[in-house]
Structure 1
């Protein structure tokens, strides 16, 4: 098994939030959408089917937990979940809170405009809120 190393683009575009049972939970540094990324903590993965069945189930459990928490704390109308990997090959799962009237509604978030990074205060508040909600969901 290869050593886990976070893809440089994911490292540049996201911020650490928490360690989940199967993956790292990271926040996309774009305040236009509450957007989380789950990255399985194993090296050499590109596709969901690269994971053994038990690890697939664990990643799915983490994804559903994150999606439920994100919907609850944001009041989003829709949670989008996807594992595209067309630009960043390393296996990662996007969990994005969407609401009618958001910056890209109803289109996809990918490639829509320019990212608007969190300021330090809002970033701290968002990560604290996520960590608190994830702890409460345990």
Structure 2
């Protein structure tokens, strides 16, 4: 019988999240990333704690901090994108590393009113659009 690998000792962003997102910056607990999908303004919060899979893996203080950061990210998206609705979810079915999706939704988006997860193929931001959106997001987080 094999022995399970020990949990990681340092935080590292899952390679799939790293490949599919653009870095926005860091909050007290979470690393914030923009999903590189021009169809939906979509933030990913990743608590910088190694080995976490579920929200319930967080200790009480970190769980409270994550909820506060979800609220901040939601307000940032409401300000920057002016969506009809903000969806929040922590699925982890494909990427097991604990991460929370904060997703701006519009009645006109291609997945409305259904879930955006798994709807069609991701469309990366054009090279001119990503830097401008990242700048607006960073300014909104700085002011939050």
Aligned to 1:120: 127
TM-score by length of 1: 0.97
- Could you list the per-position Cα deviations for residues 34-61 of structure 1 after superposition, in whole angstroms to 9, with x for gaps in the alignment? 0000000011000001110000001111
Residue-pair matches, total: 137
Q: For 1:123 and 1:73, how far apart are their aligned partners in 2?
A: 13
Aligned to 2:22: 15
What are the ranges of 5 or more consecutive residues in structure 2 without an aligned counterpart?
A: 1-7
TM-score by length of 2: 0.93
User: 1:2 Cα shift?
Assistant: 2.2
RMSD: 0.9
Aligned to 2:143: 136
- Could you list the per-position Cα deviations for residues 88-117 of structure 1 after superposition, in whole angstroms to 9, with x for gaps in the alignment? 000000000001011111111111111100
Aligned to 1:106: 113
Q: Which has the larger radius of gyration?
A: 2
Give the one of 91, 108, 131 matched to 1:84: 91
Residue 2 in 1 paired to residue 9 in 2? yes
Give 1:40-59 correspondences, 5 Å limit. Answer: 40-59=47-66
What are the ranges of 5 or more consecutive residues in structure 1 without an aligned counterpart?
A: none
Aligned to 1:65: 72
